[in-house]
Amino acid sequence: MRGFVISRLAADEAEILTIAVDAAFRRYGVGGALLRGHCARVAAAGAKSLFLEVDPENAAALALYRRLGFVEVGQRKGYYRRPDGQSATALVLKATLPQ
């Protein structure tokens, strides 16, 4: 397995709970392929939009999400816990899915 996406669908909205790519396969387009396929599947299931949270310091993930049309729609204060115990804000991103 090179990676996976876990999400939930409620009415016409989906939310990615986790997306992960094996470290050996990063920077080879696996994350983009997973995300594009996932967007198509949730759209086929009736989702009109897809949400996710991302650490603003995760530049690679942010670049991928923005390339695929995700835009920032909010923030969640204290969403992440850093290794040093400090809390960090997550960016809430949304993509509008083609119907």
pLDDT surpassing 90 at residue 99: no
Claim: this prediction has a pTM higher than 0.75: yes
For this structure, is 80 an active site residue? no
pLDDT given for residue 1 in this prediction:
85
Query: What is the rounded average pLDDT of the residues 66-80?
Result: 96
Exposure string (b/e) for 31-69, b if CB count within 10 Å is 16 or more?
Answer: beebbeebbeebbeeebeebbbbbeeeeeebbebbeeee
Domain boundaries, the chain: 3-96
Question: Can you read off the two tokens belonging to residue 3?
Answer: 């990676």
Q: What is the mean pLDDT of the chain?
A: 95
Residue tagged active-site, from 13, 53, 72, 79: 53
For this structure, is 13 an active site residue? no
Cβ contact 76:92 at 8 Å:
yes
Q: Using alpha carbons, select from 58, 63, 60, 95 the residue that is nearest to residue 80.
A: 58
Q: Using alpha carbons, select from 73, 74, 64 the residue that is nearest to residue 35.
A: 64
Residue tagged active-site, from 13, 28, 57, 65: 65
| 22-69: pLDDT as tens digits | 999 999 999 999 999 999 999 999 999 999 999 999 999 999 999 999
Question: Can you read off the two tokens belonging to residue 43?
Answer: 């759209």
Q: What does CATH list as the number for 3-96? A: 3.40.630.30
